[in-house]
Amino acid sequence: MDGKVQLQKQLFDYTASLFQEGFLDNQFNQLEQLQDESNPDFVVEVVTLFFDDAERILNELTTSLGQEKIDFKRLDAHVHQLKGSSSSIGAQRVHEACIPFRNFCTEQNVEGCLKSLQQVKHEYSLVKSKLETLFKMEEELLASSLADLKVV
């Protein structure tokens, strides 16, 4: 029983830190509100969709910026997409990193775009790893609760 309380506390503290450090914002809370018994995996499902989407876009951005002639309009459209989806799941720092990126696209500033891409990639990998950790903790807590139920 003690182990479970420990896990709960860890989960609580970890989640709080993600908000404090700005990795997540209120929109993530909104997603949690949409999860219930009928949709117990909603948050993981949406976040997973976001991961797939983000990785696809980041690859596109990398390829686009490697071209001889860069299509800034297309670049901007992709950044806009990423900005939108990160905002929809509450990935605040990724969302914010997309803002200067869009400005550089408008200015057709290649250096700026390259730097921004690095920044966005960095923020993305951070939030991905943190969310994966969060989900793992939730799984452990769930497993621990189920184990408790088995004890007669």
Partner 1 sequence: MAAAGEIFRSNLTELLEESHSGDNELHVLAVDDSLVDRKVIERLLKISSCKVTVVESARRALQFLGLDGDGENSDIGFDGVKVNLIMTDYSMPGMTGYELLKKIKQESSVFREIPVVIMSSENVLTRIDRCLEEGAEDFLLKPVKLSDVRRLKEFIMRGEVKDGEKNSLKRRRSSDDCSPSLSTTFSPMRHLCDPPSSLFSPLSPSTLSSKKSRL
Residue ranges in contact with partner 1 by CB under 8 A:
26-27, 30-31, 33-34, 36, 39, 42, 45-46, 49-50, 53, 77, 80-81, 83-85, 87-90
Instruction: Please say which residue, 135 or 137, places its beta carbon nearer to partner 1.
Output: 135
Residue 53 Cβ, how far from partner 1 at the closest point, in Å?
A: 6
Residues 78, 54: contact at Cβ < 8 Å?
Answer: no
User: Count of alpha carbons within 13 Å of 115, Cβ hemisphere only?
Assistant: 8
Instruction: Please say which residue, 90 or 113, places its beta carbon nearer to partner 1.
Output: 90
* Token pair listed for 49: 């969709």
In the chain, the amino acid numbered 15 is: T
Residue 1 Cβ, how far from partner 1 at the closest point, in Å?
A: 33
Instruction: Please say which residue, 74 or 115, places its beta carbon nearer to partner 1.
Output: 74
Task: In whole angstroms, give the CA distance from residue 86 to residue 96.
Answer: 9
Residues 117, 65: contact at Cβ < 8 Å?
Answer: yes
Residue 84 Cβ, how far from partner 1 at the closest point, in Å?
A: 5
